[in-house]
Chain A
């Protein structure tokens, strides 16, 4: 009996494989009729695929994969076959740098989507800058990445011409959060906590400045350490300060625990954070009593954008195991921007990938403009997205529900 079932399985698998190869070769001959053979172009992906931020990282990888597959299916760039190479940075800057070096070393890579963390991006930008390799981050929000270290003093200077992003910066997100918390949620006394990382500390500082400018009080500040889990002492300080809300600059693993421990300490006040905590895992970590916690995230809710309908159905049809997460739409758009840039470069070179393709892709990327999943996709002179839509989400009955979407105005 066992042998027979084995035989059946082998037959099925072989038939399946043969059918698939048949399909593949037919596609090849169709696409290749004009230029002979298809050139392989690789889009690199760098994101935390494992570790506590993997929920977001897997969503980024899958969305880029979907974009590459869609481009191949539509024959978006004739003569070019897209592939992705996804590397895991575990949210560690050193891994990101090693991955960047690896991607630069692969001649077929013409653009990279990622990473998730601003801190990781800092270590990768230089590597890509030297190699003229275009990088589009779907999630970095730290302003210094595109506007230089002195952006706060008004001296904006773009450090790397290879760096682009589809996510809005913390300047916009932090101010938007402060305006919502003060004007809409009517909170006047906030306790600010951050995780000392590039993203978290930057966001918290921008939020605090705007909140004070609006007339609110900062009841106190504290910092937590990434990967630690006991914040009960900080939680008690929050309670003792009499704050009516907490703002957390950081990611969901610490944010969820902080929200939980603040409530356990006896302070029934909401915790607000940036897109780093906008993930279902935040709700899982923050336990049962987290209704009312708030987060901001870049863009309008993907589910509500008419342009995103196709992305949603395609993602479901793709059979990906992990959800697209907070950055799925931005990752798809980032990858699609690269596809469009490559399309321009290839079209300008008589349908072939030129020898100095990397530098040309960077040039073309600056001029890209199309209607993407998250709205209009285009980059300004710093490589930042021109899209300034943001949404506030609140935890309601164990899920994030959008409460306010608006285009940011300073």
Chain B
């Protein structure tokens, strides 16, 4: 049986999830050149916000009704935390050397994990998350699409499209582009750059919340540690696609997801490479790909070569 279509579908779904989270890294980096390492935790908090919304709903509510409300609940939680983090942890350090906010971000990530661990009821163990009932869809003999994968494969491009239109067409979006290019001049032109920065954090957080709901629906559980590895992978995706470029985040995510899925399935079938295949080596191959791409295109797949503005 040819398992290629199935592995491609797996990779795409995983990549779309990476892409949704990577948006948060790339937007914030594009505007304030900050690598917000706490973004993985923002994603995790989005998941717990969504779970809270689900628990608050009367039991027996159809998932079709519940999911939009869960996304809203997750987004409220993640956007709230992200904007608060911006206001109280990053803004006071805006003029500081670049390493200061980076360390702050790492510290914030630990704090957020511990807060959820300590204060969310029963969060010390994985908490179960609602799942789609029913079997996966059979498209072909060798291609089954799980409901949760379908969910993320439909929702991620829609969100990207909405974000693309917003950034290109709306007044705030263009203000965002201007701030990314040159914050000082943008300020002189009357743009409230603080507001734009908050907006970048908020949009990234909302995307992370959508990703968290998709993740929960797929895996059937969320836990306080889930943001760490996924955050790292999403950050990798953002760099791979060209950090600062929102389409790059999605492209990077999909490439990374496909690379992982295909390396798990096929590396070990190459003669002599049996020892280097399988799930144990997936991350190694993903990072080999990242290094190769960065050697050829240091700015990432879709990144633009920009002169360093000192």
Contact = CB atoms under 8 A, between A and B. Distances in A.
Nearest to A258: B279
A75 interface: no
Interface string B1-27: 101001100110110000000000000
Contact of B280 (A52, A196, A229, A240): A196
A284 interface: yes
Closest 10 A-B residue pairs measured CB to CB?
Answer: A223-B280, A233-B264, A232-B10, A222-B278, A233-B261, A240-B3, A224-B279, A287-B220, A236-B6, A234-B279
Contacts of A234: 264, 278-279
Given A55-B125, A196-B280, A231-B279, A222 B264 contact: yes
A45 interface: no
Contact of A257 (B7, B219, B283): B219
Interface residues of A, number: 35
Given A227-B228, A230-B10, A281-B125, 12 more contacts: A225-B282, A232-B10, A233-B11, A233-B261, A233-B279, A234-B278, A236-B10, A236-B265, A237-B265, A240-B3, A284-B128, A287-B131
A276 to B, nearest CB: 15
B124 interface: yes
A267 to B, nearest CB: 10
A253 B226 CA distance: 12
A237 B221 contact: no
Contact of A265 (B11, B144, B228, B282): B144
Interface residues of B, number: 35
Contacts of A240: 1, 3
A260 to B, nearest CB: 6
Interface of A: 50-52, 54-55, 193, 196, 221-225, 227-234, 236-237, 239-240, 253, 257, 260, 264-266, 281, 284-285, 287-288
A227 B136 CA distance: 25
Contact of A230 (B6, B14, B228): B14
A225 B283 contact: yes
Contacts of B126: 52, 253, 281, 284-285
Contacts of B221: 257, 284-285
B220 A225 contact: no
Contacts of A266: 136, 144
B41 interface: no
Contacts of B265: 233, 236-237
Interface string B131-157: 100001000000010100000000000
A233 B260 contact: yes
Interface in B207-242: 215, 219-221, 223, 225-226, 228-229
A4 B176 CA distance: 58
Given A51-B225, A257-B219, A232 B279 contact: no
A52 B308 CA distance: 43
B124 A221 contact: no
B117 interface: yes
A287 B130 CA distance: 10
